[in-house]
Amino acid sequence: MADALFVIPASVLRNLSDKLYEKRKNAALEFEGIVKQLASSGDHEKISLVINLLTTEFVYSPQANHRKGGLIGLAAATVGLTSEAAQHLEQIVPPVLNSFSDQDSRVRYYACEALYNIAKIVRGDFIIFFNQIFDALCKLSADSDGNVQSAAHLLDRLVKDIVTESDQFSIEEFIPLLRERMNVLNPYVRQFLVGWITVLDSVPDIDMLGFLPDFLDGLFNMLSDSSHEIRQQADSALSEFLQEIKNSPSVDYSRMAEILVQRAASPDEFTRLTAITWINEFVKLGRDQLVPYYADILGVILPCISDKEEKIRVVARETNEELRAIKADPAETFDVSAILSITRRQLDSEWEATRIEALHWISTLLNRHRAEVLCFLNDIFDTLLKALSDFSDEVVLLVLDIHACIAQDPLNFRQLVVFLVYNFRVDHSLLERRGALIIRRLCVLLDAERVYRELSTILEGEADLDFACIMVQALNLILLTSSELSELRGLLKQSLVNAAGKDLFVSLYASWCHSPMAIISLCLLAQMYQHASAVTQSLVEEDINAKFLVQLDKLIRLLETPIFAYIRLQLLEPGRYIWLLKALYGLLMLLPQKSSAFKRLRTRLKTVPLCSFNGDQIKQASSGNPYSQILCHSGSQISEDGDITQDNGNLQNGINFASRLQQFEQMQRQHRMLAKSQAQSRISSASLSKVEPKAEPWRIPTSEGNRPLSRSSRRGVGQFQI
């Protein structure tokens, strides 16, 4: 220390700590000259003593002016050393860096100025302190003092120039430093970091692309910054990197894919768009490399298909198609179960477009990897059944396509129909809203006869009689009206002459017994008019209720449609189709005379000719009732082809109609017993809730007063469900 004081005049040391800048500046110039003389004489030991004096007595002094003077002195010493300054940097630079955290803003300012002058002299030798300098500049970029910020920016530009020129810069050592600071929210720091990323990426010898996964998330995070300038800078940097990825023969997509998946779900619109755009390019470029990440990518693509921003929707749809076009092999890390899990979750999305694309994915997987998908059938089956209640017709149709594809196997077909009936049972609204659509579509996809036979088998043993009745009515109405079931109707029309038709009729009959009107409709469709008449006459008072009449009204309306045109044409030959007339008159007798259905059917029957046109023979009806001669055949049976034969024990084409009628009546007795018990339960509940006396439950009011019913009370069946 004494040697250093001997070298430096006392006046210079005094002026170096003066409060006036000019005096400190002049002292620094003198200091520079002294160091230059020592350097020229090669006396580096004294130079070290002088630098040590500046550090201990000035830079680390509690007096601000001393610290300012010490910083100026260190810069002057470096200038004086010129080319020989490198060997003293270990003494010079650390005290300056330490001053960047000084509480006095002016000291921090002079520290920036001093380091700037030092850097200009030593240039490339400066690199050994780069990490410490970068850390200090990062903090100074957000300094509260504007002058310090400006000085730091000047120093930053110089350091960038030095780094781009240097061949000693270590990107491997720098990246951890950069990664630690990428999630800082301060806008000045963010600008500082993006600036460095851009500069280093522009250096040909520095491979920033290889380290992109280390700071990619930070760049995406800046896209949602409140500052437009920062968003623009981050977007510009990302665009440049994406272009480099396109031109690079080898890219590590895996780490970046994870980041992009997270950012594609960002609440910020611009971030989502950028992330989806990157994913789109990755899918095109990486293809097989991204197979392990298909499920994760799909998990963010599907929601974006329904994004409120059109640009995002367009890119997401394009990406979805690109992804689906890649035919990956489950043996090559393609996880079918993960994809199914994602699609199952997206089926609960509130957006129709997302649900539709999720179903397209399930369909694609079934077509490509059927065995693997069926292994996970239990995981998705309930969700697919639930999707049948969707408010979108397109969604329901796609779900049905998938169910039909799954049901190609007999076991899965049976499971589908069983679960479908179960869903209809627990959710009647599904049957009302979607029943017709579901049944018709399945008939197209899986063969109508096969579907109806299976449904009939299940409903035959249905314990819930009310539901069975409603379900049969719905199936019957679909059978009578749906264009998709025209072949099935044609087969049933041939039941008396065709073994396949007869077998189908018998198969449906057991479950159709749940509804009188369904049985009558089935018999009319199969041209089994005698049995239709027998069923009509078997009905008793309890069966003729409001619900029954509503069903009958619908049937009468259907008789006027093209589907039953053959019946209306058969009425041209009343002598040949006597049982048809008797069945229709039986229905007419059940209708209230003032109802529109009564008037409609009576009008139709009035058009039946008084004579039978059967070719060569014309039979004139007797006077009075024009059909009295026809309807009086009680001991003979007129078959459906018009031939009059003797009673053969109600056995036609192998069908025992007497046994079938007993089957129908037995089923109706069960329905009446159920209706009676339900009525008694309601009456019991009502009697407990009201004090006043009520009419006896076994009596009903009539126009002639109260009189007991002639037979046990029975509940009518429900209405047809459309």
Comparison of pLDDT for 95 and 638, the residue scoring more: 95
685-688: list long-range contacts, CB under 8 Å, 24+ apart.
none
Q: Which domain holds residue 165?
A: 1-169
**Alpha-carbon distance 499 to 226, whole Å?**
79
pLDDT reported for residue 5 = 55
Buried b (16+ CB within 10 A) or exposed e, 104-139: eebbbbbbbbbbbbbbebbeebbbbbbeebbebbbb
Q: Which one, of 392, 328, 324, 384, lies nearest residue 359 by Cα? A: 384
Position with higher pLDDT, 456 vs 10: 456
Give 682's pLDDT tier (boundaries 50, 70, 90): confident
Angle at which helices 578-590 and 516-525 cross, to 10°: 150
* Residue 301 to residue 279: CA distance in whole angstroms: 9
Nearby residues of 567 by Cβ (< 8 Å), 6 or more positions away: 524, 559, 580
Backbone angles phi, psi at 691, to 5 degrees: -90, -40
**Whether residue 700 has pLDDT greater than 70:** no
Q: Give the residue from 169, 197, 226 where a domain finishes.
A: 169
**276 inside domain:** no
CA–CA gap between residue 445 and residue 22 (Å, rounded): 96
Angle (CA) 554-462-386 rounded to 5° is 85
Instruction: Indicate whether 692 pLDDT > 50.
Output: no
Residue 622 has pLDDT above 60, yes or no: no
pLDDT in tens, 635-681: 344 444 444 343 344 556 678 889 999 999 999 889 888 888 888 88
Answer whether residue 592 is part of any domain: yes
Q: Confirm if 406 and 400 have CB atoms less than 8 A apart.
A: no
CA–CA dist 682, 432 (Å, integer): 26
Radius of gyration for the chain, computed over Cα atoms and rounded to the nearest angstrom: 47
- In terms of C-beta density within 10 A (0-12 exposed, 13-18 middle, 19 or more buried), how is residue 26 classed? middle
Mean pLDDT score of the chain, rounded to an integer? 85
Question: Taking a C-beta distance cutoff of 8 angstroms, is the pair 720, 476 a contact?
Answer: yes
The closest of 201, 199, 219 to 210, measured between CA atoms, is: 201
Q: Mean of the pLDDT values across residues 563-571?
A: 93
Instruction: pLDDT band for 613, please (50, 70, 90 cuts).
Output: low
659: which residues sit within 8 A by CB, 6+ positions away?
none
Q: Is 485 helix (H, G, I), strand (E, B) or coil?
A: helix
Alpha-carbon distances of 558 from 481, 484, 551, 570, rounded to whole Å: 8, 17, 11, 16
Query: Which amino acid is residue 17, in one-letter code?
Result: S
Q: Is residue 315 part of a domain?
A: no
- Per-residue confidence (pLDDT) for residue 286, from 0 to 100: 83
Region 608-615: mean pLDDT is 65
**Spatial distance between the Cα atoms of 483 and 490, rounded to a whole number of angstroms:** 11
Whether the per-residue pLDDT at 688 is higher than 80: the answer is no
8 Å CB contact between 305 and 353: yes
Helix then strand then coil, % of the chain, to nearest 5: 70, 5, 25
So what's the pLDDT on residue 11? Answer: 83
Nearest to 383 by CA among 342, 413, 418, 351: 342
Query: At 626, is the pLDDT very low, low, confident or very high (cuts 50, 70, 90)?
Result: very low
Please report the DSSP string for 58-85 in residue order. Answer: IIT-SSHHHHHHHHHHHHHHHHHHGGGG
Q: Is the pLDDT of residue 142 over 60?
A: yes
CATH code of the domain covering residue 72: 1.25.10.10
Cα torsion at 518, 520, 522, 524 (round to 10°)?
A: -150
Split into its structural domains, the chain has a count of 2
- Domain presence at residue 202: no
Cα–Cα distance for residue pair 7/539, rounded to 1 Å: 132
Burial tier of 520 (Cβ tally within 10 Å: 0-12, 13-18, 19+): buried
> Are the beta carbons of 478 and 485 closer than 8 angstroms?
yes
Average pLDDT value for residue range 283-309: 90
Q: Is residue 455 situated within a structural domain?
A: no
Q: State pLDDT tens for residues 467-507.
A: 999 999 999 999 999 999 999 999 999 988 889 999 999 99
Phi/psi of residue 636, nearest 5 degrees: -120, 165
- The pTM assigned to this predicted structure is 0.76
Asked if residue 61 is part of any domain, the answer here is yes
Judge whether 624 lies within some domain.
no
Is 417 inside any structural domain? Answer: no
